[in-house]
Amino acid sequence: MLFNSFPFLLLFLPIVVAGYAVAQRILGQKAAQGFLLASSFFFYGCARPSYVPILAGSILFNWLIGTWMGKADEQTPANESRRKLILRIGLVGNVGLMCSFKYINFFLQHFAFLNASKFALPNWEFPLGISFFTLTQVMYLVDTYQGLNAPNSLFDHATAVSMFPYIEAGPLVRMRTIIPQLREYKKQVGRSELACRGIYMLSLGLAKKVVLADSFAQVANVGFGSAENFSTLESWIFSLCYTFQIYFDFSGYSDMAVGCAWMLGIDIPQNFNNPYISKSVSEFWQRWHISLSNFITNYLYTPILQSMGKATITTSVIAVMIAMSIAGLWHGPAWTYVIWGTLHGCALGVCQIWKRQKTKMPPWLAWGITFLFVDLSLVFFRSPSVPLALHMLHGMLPHEDLFGTEAIMYIIPMNMHILLRPVALGVLLAFFFKTSQQLAEKFRPSKVTVLATAALILVSFLFMNSTAAKEFVYFAF
Partner 1 sequence: MFTLHSNGVIMKTRTWIAETIGLVAVVTLAVVATNWSIDFYGSFRGAKGLHLAGYGDVRIAKYLLNKRYVPDNFNSLIIGPSISGNWDGRGLERLSTYNDSLVGGNIVELKAIADQALASSQIRVVILMVHPYLTATHDFKTVPLVPRLNNEALGSVNLEEAYKQRIREKLHLDSEEFDAFGVVDFTNAPNKMNPREKLMMTPGTDFTIDPIAMQTYRDFESELHARNVQIIFVIPPFLQSIYAGKPEAFKKYNNMILADKAEQDQVIDFTSDEFTAFRSVAGNFRGVHLTNEAARRVVAVINERVDGWIREGVFTDLRGGALAQNLAGAGPFKADDRMRRRRADSIMARAERRSAQ
Which residue ranges make up the site for partner 1 (CB under 8 A)?
188-190, 192-193, 195-197, 199, 228, 262, 267, 269-270, 406-407, 409-411, 413-415, 417-418, 437, 440-447, 449-451, 453-454, 457-458, 461-463, 465-468
Least spacing, CB of residue 134 vs partner 1, in Å = 25
Dihedral over Cα of 416, 422, 424, 430: its sign: negative
Distance between CA atoms of 12 and 33, rounded to whole angstroms?
16
Helix (H, G, I), strand (E, B) or coil at 272: coil
Q: What is the C-alpha to C-alpha distance for residues 282 and 49, in angstroms, rounded to an integer?
A: 40
Q: What is the DSSP string of 149-167?
A: SPPPPHHHHHHHHH-TTTT
Query: How near is the Cβ of 258 to partner 1 at its closest, in Å?
Result: 9
Q: Which residues lie closer than 8 Å to 67 by C-beta, 6 or more apart? A: 151
CA atoms of 222 and 220, how far apart (whole Å)? 5
Which whole-number Å values give the CA distances from 417 to 209, 414, 468, in the listed order?
19, 8, 19
Q: Could you tell me the smallest distance in angstroms from the CB atom of residue 313 to partner 1?
A: 33
How near is the Cβ of 162 to partner 1 at its closest, in Å? 22
Q: Least distance to partner 1 from the beta carbon of 118, Å? A: 30
Q: What is the DSSP letter of 5?
A: S
- Please give the angle made by the CA atoms of 426, 431 and 433, to the nearest 5 degrees: 80
Q: For residues 383 and 390, give the distance between their C-alpha atoms in angstroms, rounded to a whole number.
A: 9
- For partner 1, which is the closer residue by CB, 201 or 304? 201
d(CA 354, CA 364): 17
C-alpha closest to that of 206 among 344, 33, 3, 445: 3
Q: How far is CA 109 from CA 29, 104, 118, 308, in A?
A: 50, 8, 11, 32
Q: How far is the CB of 220 from partner 1 (least distance, A)?
A: 15
Residue 28 or 445: which CB sits closer to partner 1?
445
Q: Of 289, 331, 344, 391, which residue is the catalytic one? A: 331
DSSP letter string, 143-211:
HHHTTSSPPPPHHHHHHHHH-TTTTTT-----HHHHHHHHHS---SS-HHHHHHHHHHHHHHHHHIIII
What angle is formed at CA 230 by the lines to CA 225 and CA 234, rounded to 5 degrees? 90
* Min dist. Cβ of residue 306 to partner 1 (A): 28
Task: Closer to partner 1 by CB, 91 or 459: give it.
Answer: 459
Calculate ∠ Cα 179-95-245, nearest 5°. 75
> Is 394 one of the catalytic residues?
no
Closest CA to 241 of 344, 406, 432, 378: 378
In the complex, least distance from residue 301 CB atom to partner 1, rounded to whole angstroms: 23
Cα angle 466, 4, 6; round to 5: 75
For the four alpha carbons of 33, 34, 39 and 45, in that order, the dihedral sign comes to positive
- How many helices (H) and strands (E) would you count in the chain? 23, 0
Catalytic residues: 331
